[in-house]
Amino acid sequence: MQHDETRIDGVTEVTATSNIRARAHGGRAKCLQRLVRLGLPVPRTEALDVDLVRRIGQGHGPDAGAILGRFGPDALVSVRPSSGVGDWGGPPSILNVGMTDARREAIARDVGAQAADALYARFIQSYATHVARLNPDRFEDLDDVAAMLAAYEEQAEDPFPQDPARQLAAVLTSMARAWEGTTARLLRRAQGAPEDAGLGLVVQEMVLGVGDPERGESGSGVIQFVSSETGLPQVTGRYLRQSQGREALMRKAPALYLTQDARGPSLEERHPELLGELQTYGALCRNRLREEMQIEFTLSHGRLNILDAVRVKRSVRAAIRIAVSLATEGVIPEAEAVLRVPPRALLDVLHPRIDPEADLPAIATGIAASPGAATGRLVFSAADAQAAAAREEAVILVRRETTPGDVLGMHAARAILTERGGVSSHAAVIARGLGVPCVVGASEIAIDRRGRFFRTPDGSVHREGDTVTVDGSAGRVVAGAPRLLEAAFDDALITLLTWADERRDIGVRANCDTPDEAELARRFEAEGIGLCRTEHMFFDEGRLTVMREMIFAREDADRAHALDQLLPMQRDDFVRIFQIMAGRPVCIRLLDPPLHEFLPTDRPGMTDLAASLGLPLDEVEARIRSLSEFNPMLGMRGVRLGIAIPEIYEMQARAIFEAAVRTSPRMTPEVMIPLVSARREVELVKSRIDAVAARVRTESGVEFDYSLGVMVETPRAALRADEIAEYATFLSFGTNDLTQMTYGLSRDDAGRFMSAYLRERVFAEDPFLQLDTEGVGELLTMGAERGRRGRPDVTLSICGEHGGDPDSIAFCRAAGFDYVSCSPFRVPVARMAAAHLAIRDRGISTMAPPER
Amino acid sequence: MQHDETRIDGVTEVTATSNIRARAHGGRAKCLQRLVRLGLPVPRTEALDVDLVRRIGQGHGPDAGAILGRFGPDALVSVRPSSGVGDWGGPPSILNVGMTDARREAIARDVGAQAADALYARFIQSYATHVARLNPDRFEDLDDVAAMLAAYEEQAEDPFPQDPARQLAAVLTSMARAWEGTTARLLRRAQGAPEDAGLGLVVQEMVLGVGDPERGESGSGVIQFVSSETGLPQVTGRYLRQSQGREALMRKAPALYLTQDARGPSLEERHPELLGELQTYGALCRNRLREEMQIEFTLSHGRLNILDAVRVKRSVRAAIRIAVSLATEGVIPEAEAVLRVPPRALLDVLHPRIDPEADLPAIATGIAASPGAATGRLVFSAADAQAAAAREEAVILVRRETTPGDVLGMHAARAILTERGGVSSHAAVIARGLGVPCVVGASEIAIDRRGRFFRTPDGSVHREGDTVTVDGSAGRVVAGAPRLLEAAFDDALITLLTWADERRDIGVRANCDTPDEAELARRFEAEGIGLCRTEHMFFDEGRLTVMREMIFAREDADRAHALDQLLPMQRDDFVRIFQIMAGRPVCIRLLDPPLHEFLPTDRPGMTDLAASLGLPLDEVEARIRSLSEFNPMLGMRGVRLGIAIPEIYEMQARAIFEAAVRTSPRMTPEVMIPLVSARREVELVKSRIDAVAARVRTESGVEFDYSLGVMVETPRAALRADEIAEYATFLSFGTNDLTQMTYGLSRDDAGRFMSAYLRERVFAEDPFLQLDTEGVGELLTMGAERGRRGRPDVTLSICGEHGGDPDSIAFCRAAGFDYVSCSPFRVPVARMAAAHLAIRDRGISTMAPPER
């Protein structure tokens, strides 16, 4: 072939040595150059850079004939988009540009009229649709070239262009302009592309894929060597004889399987040498491009051409497996394997999810509050959930909102659905802690608790006992039991997390309130428990009654009696948790919620309580009323309880110390005081707890250590962290409450306007989901600095929900925190996120994987 | 007389030129020197300095005989305490030291046996009691010297000392040691004296006050020339013939009146020349000591001696009058007159109070939440209070706690008593705003609202209609109607405040919600209104219904209709307030509370609402329930309402602007956005309000200005004040809410543990009463600095309850605030406090008035 090699500004031939840059020419051009460098048989390709394409869009393009001239007089070419580094979409590829009546004759002579007609028809159709913008329906049922040319001429009021250069010019202009269109811009923005991202194009010589069977195999296909679902080795793809481009994927028959297959004929049987060649190319890509690639190929009279290769699409599970395999085989460093898996993506594999194939309509939608999916029968009270769990029935608990009294029922349920609340509502926080799927704020459903059903806006009614599936990752509920894909905490993930742990430089602990959660924390290899809330321990039926007796005690002796009964129960909890954690640190928060949370709110509950306490109902009601508060969040809770009723904290401290004495290996419990706002609070509680420790040491004859710290949840505690640290060896920032108080915003009540706030961009993000680094974050930074000023070796951590959020972890790491603590299911995310930060900081090879 | 003038270390004769210093010798010694310098006939006085007295207490005193030697061989002396600058107490004076059997004979020869015996008996009794520490009861009924000496000898197991030097040594040692005793230390600490305050003593030659009537008038008395109650000129005091010391004050008969008096004989009639001499001395003190003094004098055979002089004790009202008189007459500068009246003391004269003479037992005690006293009949609901007020009956409203729905009833009541709540509870804040006496947190009373009575711990029952008096200054309630002393906002106070205004350099505005309060603000000369809350305007019966229709509106049109009805009502409120303020600035806060505060909470109220809205009761109940919040303080209120339901703020802005257009002189309203936590909130609201202003300008054809600012009540708003100030021309710190959020502490719920917190010294002061300068204060300082960074000419103020607290004003002034705003009744206090700060800063003569 005669090639015109005149230089055209912005047009570069893709060769092993030419100056192709992803930023200038797009990802596809760069990838093709890599394939060329590997020696793969890539047809001649010319890359048009972003600037040139922009000029083409503005009508200042070069002579298309000169570009065609590069390919020789008779070449057909394809034009494909080559967008920025990420895959930001772009106009569809156009094949067979240059096809004309004359060229059709020549090709017919070469490979037969049928093949030539097929190519011409396909070109007319895509030119008509994507370049001339004619109505595609008018070309749908035509397969005769003459009819197509007539249809084109009729609609375009112009004959089909017979000048290849004019064709190419029109194709290039059309693609350049489509890129600048509003639709394309919106699509790109949705994918996170910059506003002004440019488009490159590649013009590639066509390999026909149709030909004379006598002269050898012709066709096209795609192939990859791992499973997109699992990431395990598996040849996947399809090959279609007498086809072009990706037709093999669209028209299944009469495609061939790639490898030998009982269901039908395969390329391996027919042309084992060709499959072997493809496998060689796949291995080359894997080892030299350091990535699993999907390869697009065309056979032309038995000769293999590689047209393109893109990263294998993959599930999170497959991404993990591929990254670990590449690193294990030494293709990439372990650190890069870690970087290749986005931390948040892990949530996908830690929980079951609804099979994406099961395309069911939602009967309710709300806020995705705790990820995972679960199927069960509807119940409308925590008691019913517990009863069902006792019968080993899977149930979904539906509540208007949950309260601490619902916690045992939440434990018993497979998933939770609430009408009210936001991502940080009680239901959401507890569900995440339990790892139970949860949808909150499904405000369109109308619950009838007495009738035991809920109604959806379309009027349909879902009753107790009906089977539904809650998808807490997507925030929706579907009727029935679709297929669920199981969680995959498999060897590849465990290996990846081990690599992550070897590199990260900030600790990760879990928030666990129960032995079950502690087991989860162990499984996810948390370094300890960063927040063990003690209040949930009192909701067990037997304990709740004693707790209520304690609350209702009028005499010190009565209170002491009740606390004496609670002591061994609480101690047993700690013994179990300490044993599970096997010497890893456990930070226990002393009782925090207002006492009225332990009291019944409805008449039957009050009647029961009156009976069990032997008090008249009206006195019980009056006492409960007197304990109620206008703003419980800002009321008598936390350390205020500890100072007003010191016996409670003393009992808890004793339970902790006695448990520590009984546990082997001996551990050093960490005791945390909640809701501190002034130094003197810590001083007072510390002196009492020190005294309890001394008594337990004397009684048991066992020496043990403990450390005492403060949960920093009020702005004042952050501001006064220096003097608070004089009495506290650690400061753990409770970012949930700190966010509430810094904004003056209750997470339970924010749901009613949070959506308006996000829509109006008042808040860039829900501050309960993503740490507000400007406001709350400044208090964290100040608190950390001042805490260190007061005690240079003070241990700093966060234990709010943000502890599992990668951005918040980055913030805490930058502020020099020692560890973060989060829900057990967030622990793997946090471990990965922390590793990403450390790896990026230390400048270990951070080469991004090739995008295509 | 022969005087031994040998120098004794630490003993200094009080002469015009001797080196007497208040710090070394105590206030009494210094004052006596001043009297000597004025030429007043003060008997010879020796001052013992603090160091000497300390040595005496430790047993290392000098030879008492040497001290006595200063007075000549036959002198009797008195020993009096001369404590530090303030009056920090001290042991009682001992007179007639040196009296012995021999001296009694000599005196009997001079002035008669009866007088000599009386002096001797008095000395034995006080020596026995205060020096020998014998049981005073054993000397009570004896008036025979022999019997007393015998009683002394029997009890002391030692004869009464007959050596004057030994007597004096014992007296000095006893007084020095009494000063160091625990009781005295506690008393001193209670009065704010430093731990190590020292005691000086003065030893003064006795002038007997008893004598031979033939040789001239003898006796003693005290005199002052102004009324201690009013401060107006009035000769007050008492003179008793044949007496010593302050006996005239204790034994009323046979005392003489000082001036001519119809009730009996007077000194003026008997010895006009002596009264004249005293008046001369009084005027000398006034002009040269620059203070009204009470003078203690003794006549000895017609010769006048001045033994001592102390500042006239005075009520606050008198203190004001005296300071103003002294300054008006040029005796002291006006600035000093201002400094002489403590700002907080003004509260005493701005409110009526219970006559201190009426010593009634309290039937209930609680927290003094709003000062003043008022008498009325008990009512137990806001509606009853309104009904009674309509009949012009004075009533006291008793509630468990108040809610916004009670505000009209609170307006109607003369005083308020609640069982729950703290100094910053709803009841307390509103009551202070209204200037209505209020006692909150009277937790010992048990209210039976249906039975319309309350029971006190002693079992007594107080029913509707019973008359009680609430003393909001002392935090108590007494049965019946004791005499009340009226408020005194008189010419002297007005003059003093004018002088204060001329000197202060920080503005003072008032928090006013109603025209009545605006009238009060005018009366107390506030410079404007710093906080006009608009929510109370909607509780009027007619408006409340419309407000509820607005809240319940499902369609925009219904809401618009309701708001159209509210608009003219709101506009009229503003017109009235603007007219009262006559051009002074008015800062109006847009609607702040959550909407559910406007809804009924009880069944009858809901039934009424259902009827007026034409809705079924259960729907009304459900809607009310759906609007309820877990933590209303942190819920959908403030600017969150303004963003979620923009029509409300738009209506309010229109009402404000239309009112401004209708008021002459034209004023520039200030519109304030509450509960801001993010810049974008301000940006959004500002753009809507600007649009309303533009429409009103067009419609009315009147140009007007307004300014828009932000109420800084969340910690985040303080932290982000720089960017918030980009859209806000003023920042007003709402320290009530800011304190609540900084501490995580609801003022309504704090009552249950605040007393424990103050007792345990967790908080030095209730942070709702006194600004927490360490925590909240730092946010204020940061907010101010950052606000100025964002807008250098931003106006800064505080409008929380702290605005009237002198310490908080000092803080705000130091932080460069432009003004403070407080309850109208606090305005005079704030004006004075601000003047004190400015005067002290500028170093204008700040000489403290003489203490004695």
Higher pLDDT: A185 or A276? It is A276
> Mean pLDDT over residues B430-440, rounded?
86
Distance, CA of A426 to CA of A382 (rounded, Å) = 14
Distance, CA of A474 to CA of A353 (rounded, Å) = 9
At B751-784, the pLDDT tens digits run 778 878 888 889 988 898 889 999 999 999 999 9
Which run of H or E residues covers position A797?
strand A795-798
In A664-703, alpha helices (H): 679-700
The pLDDT of residue B821: 97
> Mean pLDDT over residues B111-126, rounded?
88
At A519-536, the pLDDT tens digits run 999 999 999 999 999 988
- Number of Cβ within 10 Å of residue A604's Cβ equals 8
**Among the ranges given (A804-818, B304-318, B748-762), the one the predictor scored with the smallest mean pLDDT:** B748-762
pLDDT tops 60 at residue B847: no
Enter the tokens of residue B204.
Answer: 């003064």
Q: Do B677 and A737 touch (CB under 8 A)?
A: no
Spell out a b/e string for B26-47, using b for 16 or more CB atoms within 10 Å of the CB, else e.
Answer: bbbbbbbbbbbebebbbbbbbb
Q: How far A44 CA sits from the closest chain B CA (Å)?
A: 55
The pLDDT of residue A565: 94
Distance, CA of B211 to CA of B218 (rounded, Å) = 6
At A368-404, the pLDDT tens digits run 888 899 999 999 998 899 888 888 889 999 999 888 7
Listed in sequence order, the residues at least 6 apart from A688 whose beta carbon sits closer than 8 Å to its beta carbon are A646, A649, A650, A653
The band of A250, judged by pLDDT with boundaries at 50, 70 and 90, is low
- Which whole-number Å values give the CA distances from A512 to A501, A515, A539, A591, A642, in the listed order? 21, 8, 16, 15, 22
Distance, CA of B395 to CA of B378 (rounded, Å) = 6
**Among the ranges given (B215-224, B403-412, B556-565), the one the predictor scored with the smallest mean pLDDT:** B403-412
A715: nearest CA in chain B? Answer: B742
At A661-696, the pLDDT tens digits run 999 888 899 999 999 999 999 999 999 999 999 999
Nearest to A582 by CA among A624, A653, A523, A504: A523
Enter the tokens of residue B264.
Answer: 């009996």
At A42-92, the pLDDT tens digits run 999 999 999 999 999 999 989 999 999 999 878 899 999 998 765 677 788
Active centre residues of B (catalytic): 426, 799
pLDDT tops 80 at residue A781: yes
- Contacts A636 to B, Cβ<8 Å: 749, 752-753
The band of B58, judged by pLDDT with boundaries at 50, 70 and 90, is very high
Residue type, B420: R
The pLDDT of residue B45: 96
Please say whether the beta carbons of B399 and B427 come within 8 A.
yes
Please say whether the beta carbons of A833 and A806 come within 8 A.
yes
Which run of H or E residues covers position A350?
helix A346-350
> Mean pLDDT over residues A711-724, rounded?
98
Residue from A438, A512, A532, A799 carrying the catalytic annotation: A799
A375: left (phi over 0), alpha (psi -120 to 50) or beta: beta
At B390-401, the pLDDT tens digits run 888 899 999 998
In A701-819, alpha helices (H): 715-719, 721-724, 735-743, 751-759, 776-790, 806-814
Report strand pairing: A819-822 vs A507-511. Answer: parallel
- Number of Cβ within 10 Å of residue B519's Cβ equals 16
The pLDDT of residue B693: 97
Q: Do A684 and B746 touch (CB under 8 A)?
A: no
The pLDDT of residue B846: 42
- Number of Cβ within 10 Å of residue B761's Cβ equals 11
Report strand pairing: B795-798 vs A233-241. Answer: unpaired
Enter the tokens of residue B248.
Answer: 């005239």
CA B72 to chain centre: 50
pLDDT tops 50 at residue B851: no
In B762-826, alpha helices (H): 776-790, 806-814
- To test the contact with chain B by mutation, choose from A597, A687, A743 the residue with the greatest count of B C-beta atoms within 10 A, namely A743
Q: Which of A636, A677, A719 sits opposite B749 (nearest CB)?
A: A636
pLDDT tops 80 at residue B564: yes
The pLDDT of residue B849: 39
- Please state, for a pLDDT cut of 70, what percent of chain A lies above it: 97
Q: How far A635 CA sits from the closest chain B CA (Å)?
A: 5
pLDDT tops 70 at residue A141: yes
DSSP letters for A151-219: HHHHHHTSPPP--HHHHHHHHHHHHHHHHHSHHHHHHHHHTT--TT--EEEEEEE---S---GGG---E
The pLDDT of residue A325: 97
Please say whether the beta carbons of B114 and B96 come within 8 A.
no
Q: How far B361 CA sits from the closest chain A CA (Å)?
A: 28
Higher pLDDT: B208 or A566? It is A566
Listed in sequence order, the residues at least 6 apart from B522 whose beta carbon sits closer than 8 Å to its beta carbon are B580, B581, B582
pLDDT tops 50 at residue A846: no
Which H, E and C letters describe B43-92, residue by residue? CCEEEECHHHHHHHHCCCCCCHHHHHHCCCCCCCEEEEEEECCCCCCCCC
3-state class of A796 per DSSP? strand
Nearest to A414 by CA among A474, A463, A477: A477
Q: Average pLDDT, whole number, for chain B?
A: 90
Q: What is the DSSP letter of A602?
A: S
- To test the contact with chain B by mutation, choose from A429, A710, A741 the residue with the greatest count of B C-beta atoms within 10 A, namely A741
3-state class of A726 per DSSP? coil
Distance, CA of A197 to CA of B386 (rounded, Å) = 70
Q: Do A744 and B741 touch (CB under 8 A)?
A: yes
The pLDDT of residue A4: 63
Enter the tokens of residue A112.
Answer: 């037969």
Q: Do A631 and B633 touch (CB under 8 A)?
A: yes
At B182-241, the pLDDT tens digits run 878 877 877 777 767 889 999 999 998 888 888 888 899 999 999 998 999 999 988 888
pLDDT tops 70 at residue A848: no
pLDDT tops 50 at residue A847: no
The pLDDT of residue B852: 37
Enter the tokens of residue A549.
Answer: 């007796």
The pLDDT of residue B706: 97
Bridge partners of B83, per DSSP, are: B199
Q: Give me the helix-helix angle, B515-523 and B556-581, nearest 10°.
A: 20
pLDDT tops 60 at residue A850: no
The count of CB pairs under 8 A between chains A and B is: 169
Nearest to A404 by CA among A425, A389, A419, A384: A425
At A431-468, the pLDDT tens digits run 887 789 999 989 888 898 888 999 988 889 999 999 99
Which H, E and C letters describe A515-581, residue by residue? HHHHHHHHHCCCCCEEEEECHHHHCCHHHHHHHHHHHHCCCHHHHHHHHHHHHHHHHHHHHHHHHHH
Distance, CA of B205 to CA of B340 (rounded, Å) = 34
pLDDT tops 60 at residue A845: no
CA–CA–CA angle A438, A442, A446 (5° rounding): 125
Q: Which of B745, B750, B775 sits opposite A719 (nearest CB)?
A: B775
Report strand pairing: B529-533 vs B586-589. Answer: parallel
Which H, E and C letters describe B235-287, residue by residue? EEEEEEECCCCCHHHHCCCCEEECCCECCECEHHHHCHHHHHHHHHHHHHHHH
